[in-house]
Chain A
Amino acid sequence: MNPDHHIILRVVSKTLIPLITLYAFYVQFHGDYSPGGGFQAGVIFAVGVILYALIFGVSSALRMVPPMFTRGLAATGVLLYAGVGIWALFGGGNFLDYSALVDEPEGGHLGQHIGIIVIELGVLFGVAGSMLTIFYAFAGRVAEISDEQW
């Protein structure tokens, strides 16, 4: 097959993928005080990699973002989320009580800010990781009966 077969797609996606990734982080950090947040950002981030895999082939995507990494990313996300909960316990609050995260005077909102940012980061990791893991599970699947055997 001619390597330049999809030249327009290649060129366009090369420009788009960084923008998509950047947009993912925009949605992520705006999730604090506008619609958006970790879940959407995670999906958008995963879409960047999935687009790369569609255009340049799954094998090169696997080299760039190996499944070991995506699985670890998903687990790290959950760990971050639950970790914030445990951290709040050490601060003397209930599980996931963001106000207990930092030592601050009554009425302070720093703990709430930190809590939601870290939690959303956990969601970003978790969603991006599991989206990619699911994609790889489908895309990397080898047909058990090859076409000739039918």
Chain B
Amino acid sequence: MIESILTYLAPGWAVTHAAPLLVVVPMITATLLVFVPSGRLAWLASILASLASLFFALVLLGLVQADTATWTALSTAGVETNLTEPGLVSYALGGWMPPAGIEFRVDALNAMILLLVAFIGVLASIFSWPTVNAEVRSEKQNLFYAAYLVCLAGLAGVAITGDAFNLFVFLEISSISTYVLVALGAGRDRRALPAAFNYLVMGTIGATFYVIGVGFLFAATGTLNMADYTVMLPELAGNRAVQAGFAFIIIGLGLKAAMWPLHQWLPNAYAYAPSFVTTFLAATATKVALYALIRFLFTVFSPAYSFEMASFEWLIAPLAIAAMVACSFQAVFQTDVRRTLAYSSVAQVGYMLLGVSLATALGVSAGLLHLVNHALMKGGLFMAVAGVVLTYQGTTLRDFAGLGRSAPWTMTAFAICALSLIGVPLTAGFQSKIMLLQAAFDSGWWWAACVIVFSSVLAVIYMGRILEAVFFKAPENPRKVRKEAPMLLLIPLWVMALANLWIGLDASFPYGLAQSAADAVIGAGGGQ
């Protein structure tokens, strides 16, 4: 189905240069936005740039999934596809061949993450205008959208690059623009400034740790190319520098991915950033960092090394479980809806890490499926909250009381995403949680399965509190009239909600993506 994009829709140049254009189009648009006088124009431009990224992400997915028939069709048409082997696109930047040059390397895993980031980017940018117009001063709107596009380009760059140092550069590009975006929430709530500063300090420490780790690896191997590491590291697995590099990289990327207990930056950053920023970040930023973590754990290093297996068992799995329990508890006691959702995000990162730490193909694909599903449900939840912020200017539990009557469409979508977060059958969350349970049982981690169920019960409590306030409590302020979020907000919100239901009914598309992604990093059938 996706291959037809290659043969019918995409011109030859788009197929050849999809990888760099995916990153460069938002980047160039961002620089042009500096000269755009009106926020509305900047908004339209950001939608177009995100759409272009989505298109190139689809092309890349098509290339990765291309079968021999498509392959021959493309080569007879004279299109250079950069496919070095089936399911692997390798694009040499500047014509410098890897491993010396920087390489954009796309396999089933990146293609899925790129698609996710670009898809969320499109929906979030469409929905953004009413909230940005309300929350960001008009003379800053064009720069706000420029920062958003730089962030999108940075996240896509992290997901697409095959060079460890280049990954650091893109990580910093996305992070620095994120700090700016979070700080712009100061117009609505001054606490955004310390939140952004906190995030800046923590994020910089994370990036520093990452680059120190890459430095150790470079010292030991003399290369920065990830595929090259795969070849060279097995001989050096006993090397102390390699092991120290591993530790630094895991901590650095763990900080970016909000791995418990390195998540302290996240709740405040999500709670006080502009609504649009929260929506976009919650659905993409930690996901991309998690992708980088998976890439390092399974492609650069491999579970075959004893120190990695030990860190799965004694570090990542316990931390994942601690996140699932501790942060779910913290979420229960929050009075601000956005903070509840933020703590729940950290808990959900725990689910994904738990899947990854099983180090089996099933576990990793369960983690990846949960990654996609969580992006969809948290994106939807934060969009609904953005609607409430827009119409009622509040995010506490009290502000949500009785909203089921005054904003039924917004709140129904919110409820669908909330049920999905809990993991009720027929929603996306159920599919990934059941798969995670299965993976845990397969590896004999029955206690982990118990914790998954327990944490889901906590999710019932913290989401239940919000849903109870929304649907069963009388409005705090009886003068609250029927006030739905604007149409621009409702459409992307409902796309998210329906995506949750669709995956709940038929998870074959994201499941297939996650499975081939897990196979790409672990090797089909390997690691079982």
Please list the residues of chain A having a beta carbon within 8 angstroms of any beta carbon in chain B.
Answer: 71-72, 74-76, 78-79, 82-83, 85-86, 89, 93-100
Contact = CB atoms under 8 A, between A and B. Distances in A.
B322 interface: no
Q: Which of B32, B93, B94, B146 has the most CB of A within 10 A?
A: B94
Contacts of A86: 24, 28
Given A85-B24, A86-B24, A95-B20, A72 B35 contact: yes
B17 A75 contact: no
Contacts of B21: 95
A94 B27 contact: no
B95 interface: yes
Interface string B74-110: 0000000000000000011111000000000000000
A96 B93 contact: yes
Contacts of A100: 95
Nearest to A79: B31
Contacts of B17: 89, 94-95
A25 B92 CA distance: 32
Interface residues of B, number: 19
B24 A97 contact: no
9 contacts: A72-B34, A72-B35, A75-B32, A75-B35, A93-B95, A94-B94, A95-B93, A96-B20, A96-B93
A20 B35 CA distance: 29
A44 B452 CA distance: 57
Interface of A is mostly: helix
B447 interface: no
Interface in B1-53: 13, 17, 20-21, 24, 27-28, 30-32, 34-35
A83 B28 CA distance: 8
Nearest to B104: A95
Smallest CB-CB A-B distances: 7 pairs: A97-B95, A95-B20, A75-B34, A96-B94, A75-B31, A79-B31, A78-B31
A94 B92 contact: yes
Given A85-B24, A89-B17, A98 B94 contact: yes
Contacts of B95: 93-94, 96-97, 99-100
B35 A94 contact: no
Contacts of B32: 75, 79
Contacts of A85: 20, 24
A82 B34 contact: no
Contact of A94 (B30, B31, B93, B143): B93
B28 A97 contact: no
A94 to B, nearest CB: 5
Nearest to B91: A94
A92 to B, nearest CB: 10
A82 B28 contact: yes
Contacts of A71: 34, 143
A100 to B, nearest CB: 7
A82 B31 contact: yes
Contacts of A82: 24, 27-28, 31
A120 to B, nearest CB: 15
A79 B94 contact: no
A82 B30 CA distance: 11
Contact of A95 (B31, B94, B146): B94
Given A89-B17, A100-B95, A95 B34 contact: no
Nearest to A98: B94
B27 to A, nearest CB: 6
Contacts of B31: 75-76, 78-79, 82
A31 to B, nearest CB: 17
Contacts of A75: 31-32, 34-35, 146
A100 B95 CA distance: 9
A89 B28 CA distance: 15
Which of A75, A78, A82, A94 neighbours the largest number of chain B CB atoms within 10 Å of its CB? A94
Contacts of B143: 71
Nearest to A129: B34
Contacts of B94: 94-98
Contacts of A78: 27-28, 30-31
Contacts of B91: 94-95
A140 to B, nearest CB: 15
Contacts of A89: 13, 17
A78 to B, nearest CB: 5
Most chain-A CB neighbours within 10 Å: which of B27, B91, B146? Answer: B27
Contacts of A95: 17, 20-21, 24, 91, 93-94
A97 B91 CA distance: 12
The interface centre, meaning the residue of A71, A95, A100 with most chain B CB atoms within 10 A of its CB, is A95
Contacts of A98: 94
Given A71-B34, A85-B20, A98-B94, 4 more contacts: A75-B146, A86-B24, A93-B95, A95-B94
A74 B20 CA distance: 22
Contacts of A93: 95
A99 B95 CA distance: 9
Given A95-B94, A96-B93, A98-B94, A79 B28 contact: yes
A55 B376 CA distance: 55
A30 to B, nearest CB: 22
Nearest to A85: B24
Nearest to A93: B95
Interface string B122-153: 00000000000000000000010010000000
B99 to A, nearest CB: 16
Contacts of A83: 28
Interface in B309-363: none
Nearest to B143: A71
A96 B95 CA distance: 8
B332 to A, nearest CB: 37
Contacts of B13: 89
A96 B20 CA distance: 10
A93 B17 CA distance: 10
Best-surrounded residue of B17, B32, B143 (most CB of chain A within 10 A): B17
Nearest to A96: B94
A89 B14 CA distance: 10
A143 to B, nearest CB: 15
